[in-house]
Amino acid sequence: MDIRNITTNNSEWQYSLINTVAIHHALLQTSIIPQEVDITVTLPLAEYYDEDNQINFDNIERKKKNLRKIVSNNKNFPMFSFKEISVKPESIPAGFDKLIDIPETQSMLIVDIGGTTLDIAQISGNMSGVVNLAGDSDIGVSIITREN
């Protein structure tokens, strides 16, 4: 199976073995020797937070559990293993540099139209808190543009 041709246009991909293999593949493309590493990954806002804008710990644990699956190859080359797995919300880090300079009384709207999801976050200045979130795991560029 050619990993470049795998469809990733739904949120279930975040929890699939193919996602785990893709992360290993990306790490193998670096100059890092396969070993135990700490890793930070992301989830779309609609997966990271629940419908009440609270952190969805079940989805975060589901993502971590997926990444802890053992990946091997048919040539018995050493592979990576993940010691510490940190899961962060997508989109919000895009505004970190600007949010530090905005007073707490103001906020920033971050809109992320990804391949899989639409994430919208209103964040208080100086990173003092999340004001509002909206996300849709079924809307993304993948349904707007299609390869012929």
Average pLDDT, the chain: 81
Domains of the chain and CATH, by start:
3-144 (3.30.420.40)
Contacts of 97 (CB under 8 A, 6+ apart): none
Q: How far apart are CA 47 and CA 123, in angstroms?
A: 18
**Per-residue model confidence as pLDDT tens digits over 53-100:** 789 999 999 999 999 998 887 777 778 999 999 998 887 777 777 888
- Please tell me the predicted confidence (pLDDT) of residue 92: 75
Please give the average per-residue pLDDT across 10-20, as a whole number.
83
Q: How far apart are CA 55 and CA 46, in angstroms?
A: 10
- What residue type is assigned to position 12 of the chain? E
How far, in Å, are 8, 26, 58, 92, 94 from residue 112 at the CA level? 16, 23, 23, 9, 9
- Please tell me the predicted confidence (pLDDT) of residue 114: 75
- Please tell me the predicted confidence (pLDDT) of residue 61: 97
> Is residue 140 pLDDT above 60, yes or no?
yes
pTM over 0.75: no
Token pair, residue 106, equals 């103001």
